[in-house]
Amino acid sequence: MEAGQKPIELILARNLISSLSTPAFLVDEGGVLIFYNEAAGSLLGKRFEEIGKVGPEQWGTMFGPVDESGAAIAYDELPLVMTIREGRPAHSDMRIRSADGAEHEIEVSALPIVTPHGSRGGIAFFWPSSESAKGD
């Protein structure tokens, strides 16, 4: 794959999540955040175009993910980072903070994007947590 050209699997993944109403992140094989959709932008309070590509250490802390006790979640324990590192699906509950300061309880499910030529990256979907949904 020539430098600068995204693999087709990431292109198609981006096109897919672009048309979904489920918030979703897309990262490349190095864990760099290369896209998130408008639904994720609404949740986070910032469109992807306002942030651009950022590495895992940066995006992993940008929205302050914390666990149920309020303790910060280390970036390498985030589902999407675990998915990239281990090549396996990962899932967890967390709280995030959007740009306007509002906190959201969410569940995150991450999947690796594996091709005949190896891993190309990963994709994560965000859902309102079961508990917060019950409270709605």
Minimum Å gap between C-beta 18 and other proteins is 6
119 part of the interface to other proteins, by CB under 8 A: no
Beta strands in 1-136 (DSSP E): 24-28, 33-36, 90-97, 103-115, 118-128
CB 24 within 8 A of CB 123: yes
Which of the ranges 1-9, 54-62, 89-97, 100-108 carries the binding residues for other proteins, by CB under 8 A?
Answer: 1-9
Minimum Å gap between C-beta 20 and other proteins is 11
CB 14 within 8 A of CB 27: no
Which of the ranges 38-46, 65-73, 87-95, 114-122 carries the binding residues for other proteins, by CB under 8 A?
Answer: 114-122
